[in-house]
Amino acid sequence: MWIFLMISFVLVMAEAFTLGNAGARYKNKYPCAVKIFLLGYVVFAGCFVFPVLSPVSPLDFSKIYFLVVSYGVIGLGFARVYGAKKEKRVYLLSVILTIAGLLCRYLLEYGEVSNTYNFTVGNVLTYICIMPAFAVLAYHYIAEYLMSQS
């Protein structure tokens, strides 16, 4: 079920930020709504993409694909909303909202056995360090290279 939600969010985010003039008009008309949607998506991804590695669900192509696409779209969203040269802000927001997503995931599965093997120190620290860093790399590439060419 969560995979369908993730796919729909990725498609909506990608469409909203790549529409060109229509996307720019919506962003200019409702800037707060676009930011709320983007920040909510970071929390959503932090909640439902975690954990990367688990004894129950090993790392496979579909999980890597969702990680790359989700945080790549987050980088695209940050590039459209904040523009270039805001790497520190993007990283800080990504870390804080990813931690919020992890807290939501922990509370969602509170009392279940899966929390004992999903929320290990290694899993949590790896996720908190790598995923926001990937979002910033995607943001930097999109803001510096792709948006400057158009």
- Secondary structure element (H or E) that encloses residue 49, with its range: none
Give the highest mean pLDDT range of 19-23, 48-52, 71-75, 87-91. 87-91
Residue 4 reports pLDDT greater than 60:
yes
Q: Which residue has the higher pLDDT, 51 or 57?
A: 51
On whether the CB atoms of residues 75 and 139 are closer than 8 A, the answer is yes
What span, in angstroms and rounded, lies between the C-alpha atoms of 13 and 127? Answer: 22
What span, in angstroms and rounded, lies between the C-alpha atoms of 85 and 122? Answer: 31
Peptide bond into 51 cis (omega under 30): yes
Residue-wise pLDDT tens digits, 72-113: 889 988 988 888 889 999 999 999 999 999 999 999 888 888
- According to the model, what pLDDT value does residue 32 have? 84
The pTM for the full model equals 0.80
Which residue bears the tokens 């400057």? 148
